[in-house]
Amino acid sequence: MTTHAAGQADVRAIDALLAGYASGALSPPLYALVASHLAISPQNRGFVSFLEAAHGCELEQREPAALSNRDAMLAAIFEQPEVRPERSVRLDPVLPPPLVRYMGCGLQDVPWKRLLPGVREYKVADAPDYEAVLYWIRAGRKMPQHTHEGAEITLVLQGAFSDVYGHYARGDISVADQDVEHRPIADPGEDCICFAVTDAPLRLTGPIGRVMQRIFGH
């Protein structure tokens, strides 16, 4: 899935996101983010082994009915219309169909606003407990150092960026929680486009915390 040197916390947070996605516990923009990640990286080995491990534990303790549940989950994940192009959604070379559907437009029609020199943004959603923003960052541009009110989950759609935690290319998800102060830098050579969702801490720890508790039994 990823080529960057993601920390253990990143991997754990992404597994939690995938679990939240599979159980329908995510907010609409996070759901679109994870569906887009899966559309770009369908062979997500981490995701599959996560599901296998989680359901393997369940299978040891449960009735055979769990088998059909597992099949249904895998079918839901890999056969969902979200990860397939639809006639109504014109294929966008950068934005995967789930994101085009969520945003209601392709990259050509994004009403960008200039945020800083070399940085444009389009605020897709601004709800009380989450915010979703599409960013366009000029190649080589340094973002201002910042912290977050909640967790910031970013999916790279074009180009790449690095911060103190690693290097993230198309299809990679970066997770920065409210304790993190970082300064992402776009790779030289290609402008970076990414979709970032900021979730209030309670929003993230609530459903995902419950999902993790159910799966790992702690």
Quick one: 58 or 177, whose CB is closer to Zn ion? 177
Q: Which residue is nearest to Zn ion (CB)?
A: 152
Interface with Zn ion, residue 197, by CB under 5 A: no
State the Cα–Cα distance between residues 218 and 209, nearest whole angstrom.
Answer: 10
Contact 186, 137 (CB under 8 A): yes
Closest approach of Zn ion to the CB of residue 163, in Å:
8
Interface with Zn ion, residue 152, by CB under 5 A: yes
Closest approach of Zn ion to the CB of residue 22, in Å:
26
- 196 Cβ neighbours under 8 A, 6+ residues apart: 132, 133, 134, 135, 152, 153, 154, 155
User: Which one of the spans 70-78, 105-113, 144-152, 202-210 is the region binding Zn ion (CB under 5 A)?
Assistant: 144-152
Interface with Zn ion, residue 176, by CB under 5 A: yes
Taking residues 102 to 141 in sequence order and writing x for each that binds Zn ion by CB under 5 A, - otherwise, the string is ----------------------------------------
Contact 40, 85 (CB under 8 A): no
Interface with Zn ion, residue 10, by CB under 5 A: no
Beta bridge partners of 161: 168, 186
Closest approach of Zn ion to the CB of residue 115, in Å:
13
Element (DSSP H or E) covering residue 120: strand 119-127
Element (DSSP H or E) covering residue 52: helix 45-61
User: Which one of the spans 17-25, 114-122, 151-159, 167-175 is the region binding Zn ion (CB under 5 A)?
Assistant: 151-159
Closest by CA to 117, choosing from 144, 146, 153, 155, is 144
Closest approach of Zn ion to the CB of residue 155, in Å:
13
Question: For binding to Zn ion (CB under 5 A), which residues are involved?
Answer: 152, 176
